[in-house]
Structure 1
């Protein structure tokens, strides 16, 4: 008879001496210490992820086609980093922050520098995503095992390995796999280091997570707060001295310093500490001009996120009842031992903060919810804990309950995983026949060095070998804010560029994110007809969830136009002579000029967005007059400068006050004029069914008390209809 004690085997006592005899233990094979569950789950995740790639390639003539144009944005930044051009989207361009994940493009940049160039860079990104998927699954298993039990870990890992939306995002070429692995790893490190009250790995992984996505920083902050609470608890129990507390707390500052350092670097390199994607897509930067309107949109999006990721809708994202099971799991942790209560607080704060953070974006669920899906394994952890809690509530039949609930959820996952693989393939086809195809056409049909303006910037820059101007503002600095204001503001911003940097071609959807490119053609900036058009031939798919618009018919066509910049400046002066000398001009629709004149629209109703527009008209002498303007419902105010006190000022306006079809509001073009808060009379704009008009109003000399006056145009009868309803383009002041 033998017993195992440590690394030696103890035999029966020696017959001669009576002392126990020992002999060296037999060497165990290296695989005997491995956890078969972890390896099995990792293998499952690998097989499923490779299956996604095979389905995509089979659907796209043997080549993997990324399901998002944004993948090429990351590849383009990575190529620049690999060439030593940090955050430069193209040669000669200033640094920009269009990559949504700094750490991810640094990783891909290193891959490029090590030889993954040309087509290999895409496959390096895909391979890295597969590795991260496997790592996430294994880490999720260990997290579930550490938090509850081995069975809970297996359920968590199994649900993660079969999570369709996570696999879609992780194998797309985007940063989702890296975010997911770091998110689970950071929470796992926190759980393991709680007992010792030292958090070196938590801090290290938190640094990486906070540099990977803005949402990652939200989770990191929640984990850091959990670590801080743990340290305070240990101090109160006398388990740590004040010095120990300080030593343990110092590393926890590193993730916050890393996030701050990133913002400072962005500001130093680009002039803005904010990521350009946030400026382009956040409700906080949209021209709503009303906090309650912003709050309403954020709350609405938050509700949609909770419903979608809680299994309360028909979207094949998670199993029905996910929210209920996750809530049970969270409650179980909150009612458990002290360390688990802290973890419950971390997960509640982290996931809740994540929902709020992504809900501030206009694109919350766009691209199959890729901002949220990397954090699904943490939700699945709570689901697994919830299943365990339900099983323990019915001791006599606990195993049956756990097996039944787990079986249903796994069945739903198994059934929906193929649909997500097919989504990846279909969306990849949509991207290659739109963005990628147009990029290749531009490469072969435009002169080398021609600047191309695009509103889907990834593939064009990556394949066309042409300088680009990003009309959304992700990779071209200074465009994001004007793009949110509409067509007129975008035109004025482009017109301010040096002539050599203005785009010679526009490769765009006819209308996208509030910009109407057809109106640019009608105004005369773009050619009368597109040079060519690429219309999607892929069968349309139902838009049951925030999918890719090329596949659902939301943006089925890309047109290539030539640009004519000779129209720039054509609207700088009024068409008819004005009395005296022009001393100032307010160029409505030009954000820089509006800011210089304190211009703003005084909206008659909260929620109305005074979008900027672009108009062009031909004159009898053959000239084309192009000017930007705004839709005004209510009134405006602006400050005129450079005036001579005591001298009357003639304000000349370029206005479009024509009645809208079917509208009998004949008072739409009549405004009450005020000067520095004093009434100056009523101004009735003339109308023309085919053109904008120019009208003048004289401000009396006794109202010009200084070199500046603030002019207000508004309703004669505040609060009630009829509201002034017109389009304003320019105001000139002459004396």
Structure 2
């Protein structure tokens, strides 16, 4: 006797809840023991999302800390908005993680429901074709939680589970657009397009899936026409990306998000294209071996998932969903390989690819089972192999989740507690998660993910620590951080030069933090110049390695393999090399950052077009430090006199020196070029003076 549909549905939901909630308990239980009852978070980045969620709940969406202004460093636009209601409901502090866990479980159950809908026979549960495939729908929840490495990310408190729910609904929307009658198909196509855009808003590398989904919708357009259908399916994503890029540009001066600027290998100006390609290949190799091989059961068993996915891609009924899933899985992995941190943080960036492969494999099992009894048996064997093969990794991943959570609680959360007790004006940090969120202290993220009033901290951190100090020098002294919470090994030239160690938190059994010890420093910015300080007689100046000043002057440095940022704190120079004159700053030690210009390379800049000067002679004053003899070639590109060679003798160590070069004829808008003809030029500052 066939069960009533509502009974079958109830049983299915119960069978879905058991593996999802069981997996959640398996990960959270040991982690809670390790953290002493504090809600576990295995990544500091979880608290970055919590910070954005708190700001959104307080009426400041897309801000890390409300008073810091707009930030593009949240990586997920939607996840903080999904967490914000939890904050408003009273899930405060670390306990917002409990709300995130409830949200993750609900999202995974929603993904299971979506997958079940995709696996249903076209004619419904009672169709003849369901005879051999009904069991696949009951296995849908197991496909969702079968891979321990993916489960680690599902329950981490990051946006991956929400991405899974949106992914499932986007796939169902594509299927509905495919099957809808012509009168309803445009609306279903637009729905699919909106959900594809939501995918990209949740994780940017999901563009690798959103694009082929739009093509799949257009492929199923039928009488509506492919072009109009493609527009409905792709325009929402295009508008989202355009709006996001425009907002980033308007508020930060960058088209890209801060996370992309900070983490993408393409953003690093120093390596050659070949060196970047080698890093991408290393990332791909690590992701393939660790995420697509070891995590799925080993070299041979790991092939079962893509094999089932290929079956789905070849099947006429499932290919419009399966092909985008496979393209999205491998395409997003390729995009992730451009991330300098792709191999770290327990391979969390590979989680979306694993989810797409699992869904494609489930579709493949259904497509194969539809071929009859024998094929259904083969499908069952392959499905069991695919689901069982990764199970050996559960113990290791659960243990790693617990240890990582203990690391974050023992270091970042403890530092937040100590910072809160000190009650500083503002803290400078390199981990933008637990410390500012739990302490409630205003902060500047030296790596730039948090954002600070549109200043380019993310790009400065890529160029080098002294470039970060240059941005801090721009701040009013009352606005500068008076406390640091930093890893000394990450922040040489800042922590040791401008900080005095006052406290530290060291952990054992470190599997997640960047170092065993995070140090708290009191700041001393006395070597920085007051904001707006201007040298007497100057008509224009370029503060080298101050990225805002460089941008304003169209400054160009030799890249790649040149222009490396350096910094020093030295006393003023008296008579400068190459013609005498003061180096500025008197005799007091003064910080300045600069760049290395290798022999045979050049730097150039444009005189500020707004400088209120007439065309005429000027003196170019170049700050450098001690070193051996060098030779420079200096030219004002509009000056018919050509390049002037300047021989610079050896300069004394331990102090600033100045090189003076007369220019015959310059005006606002002129381009000045400085070439290193002999030796490496250590270029720190350029002033343009009237003689």
Number of residue pairs the alignment of both structures matches: 652
Asked whether the 8 Å contact 2:622–2:684 carries over to 1, the reply is yes
Residue 343 of structure 1 corresponds to 321
* CA deviation vs aligned residue, 1:279-301 (integer Å, no higher than 9, x gap): 22223433248666655544553
3-state DSSP of counterpart to 1:466: coil
Residue 208 of structure 1 corresponds to 198
2: CA distance, partners of 1:196 / 1:134: 25
Q: Unaligned regions of 5+ residues in structure 1, if any?
A: 5-27, 542-547, 660-666, 717-722
Residue 168 of structure 2 corresponds to 184
Q: Determine if the alignment matches structure 1 residue 354 to structure 2 residue 332.
A: yes
- Greater shift, 382-391 or 325-334, is seen at 382-391
Residue 44 of structure 1 corresponds to 19
Q: Unaligned regions of 5+ residues in structure 2, if any?
A: 123-131, 574-585
Q: Which of 669, 674, 698 lines up with 2:661 in the alignment?
A: 698
2: CA distance, partners of 1:421 / 1:222: 34
Residue 441 of structure 1 corresponds to 418
* CA deviation vs aligned residue, 1:373-402 (integer Å, no higher than 9, x gap): 034232023345667889999x99867765
Q: Which of 507, 518, 534 lines up with 2:505 in the alignment?
A: 534
1:266-345 equivalences under 5 Å are 274-288=256-270, 297-298=279-280, 300-311=282-293, 315-316=294-295, 319-321=298-300, 324-337=303-316, 339-345=317-323
Residue 596 of structure 1 corresponds to 552
Cα distance, 1:57 vs structure 2: 0.6
Q: Determine if the alignment matches structure 1 residue 681 to structure 2 residue 657.
A: no
Residue 482 of structure 2 corresponds to 504
* CA deviation vs aligned residue, 1:683-734 (integer Å, no higher than 9, x gap): 234244x424424353464xx3656654444354xxxxxx732422123344
Residue 128 of structure 2 corresponds to none
Residue 629 of structure 1 corresponds to 594
Residue 725 of structure 1 corresponds to 680
Cα distance, 1:191 vs structure 2: 2.7
- Greater shift, 35-44 or 260-269, is seen at 260-269
Residue 480 of structure 1 corresponds to 458
Cα distance change on mapping 1:535 and 1:274 into 2, 3 Å: same
Residue 614 of structure 1 corresponds to 567
1: CA distance, partners of 2:148 / 2:529: 53
1:87-486 equivalences under 5 Å are 87-144=62-119, 149-154=133-138, 157-196=141-180, 198=185, 199=188, 202-231=192-221, 234-235=222-223, 250=232, 253-263=235-245, 274-288=256-270, 297-298=279-280, 300-311=282-293, 315-316=294-295, 319-321=298-300, 324-337=303-316, 339-384=317-362, 405-447=382-424, 450-477=425-452, 478=455, 479-486=457-464
* CA deviation vs aligned residue, 1:30-72 (integer Å, no higher than 9, x gap): 7523274564243112111121111111222233321111111
Residue 520 of structure 1 corresponds to 494
Cα distance change on mapping 1:422 and 1:133 into 2, 3 Å: farther
- Greater shift, 626-635 or 342-351, is seen at 342-351
Cα distance, 1:100 vs structure 2: 2.2
3-state DSSP of counterpart to 1:602: coil
1: CA distance, partners of 2:555 / 2:483: 32
Cα distance change on mapping 1:444 and 1:681 into 2, 3 Å: same
Q: Which of 504, 517, 521 lines up with 1:557 in the alignment?
A: 517
Asked whether the 8 Å contact 2:330–2:353 carries over to 1, the reply is no
Q: Which of 675, 688, 691 lines up with 1:714 in the alignment?
A: 675
3-state DSSP of counterpart to 2:78: helix
Cα distance, 1:465 vs structure 2: 2.2
Cα distance, 1:365 vs structure 2: 3.5
Cα distance change on mapping 1:474 and 1:247 into 2, 3 Å: closer
Asked whether the 8 Å contact 2:97–2:157 carries over to 1, the reply is yes
Residue 653 of structure 1 corresponds to 622
TM-score (normalised: structure 1): 0.78
3-state DSSP of counterpart to 1:428: helix
Cα distance, 1:540 vs structure 2: 4.0
TM-score (normalised: structure 2): 0.83
Asked whether the 8 Å contact 2:312–2:364 carries over to 1, the reply is no
Asked whether the 8 Å contact 2:488–2:495 carries over to 1, the reply is no
2: CA distance, partners of 1:657 / 1:390: 74
Asked whether the 8 Å contact 1:146–1:191 carries over to 2, the reply is no
Q: Determine if the alignment matches structure 1 residue 80 to structure 2 residue 51.
A: no
2: CA distance, partners of 1:350 / 1:273: 24
Asked whether the 8 Å contact 1:144–1:154 carries over to 2, the reply is no
* CA deviation vs aligned residue, 1:261-285 (integer Å, no higher than 9, x gap): 5555566666656432222222343
Residue 36 of structure 2 corresponds to 61
* CA deviation vs aligned residue, 1:408-443 (integer Å, no higher than 9, x gap): 444432221121111111111111121111110011
Cα distance, 1:126 vs structure 2: 1.5
Asked whether the 8 Å contact 2:146–2:388 carries over to 1, the reply is no
3-state DSSP of counterpart to 2:684: strand
Cα distance change on mapping 1:192 and 1:51 into 2, 3 Å: same
2: CA distance, partners of 1:711 / 1:255: 43
Residue 24 of structure 1 corresponds to none
Cα distance change on mapping 1:534 and 1:117 into 2, 3 Å: closer
Asked whether the 8 Å contact 1:617–1:626 carries over to 2, the reply is yes
3-state DSSP of counterpart to 2:61: coil
Cα distance, 1:227 vs structure 2: 0.4
Cα distance change on mapping 1:146 and 1:558 into 2, 3 Å: farther
Cα distance, 1:206 vs structure 2: 2.9
Cα distance change on mapping 1:436 and 1:582 into 2, 3 Å: same
2: CA distance, partners of 1:674 / 1:266: 36
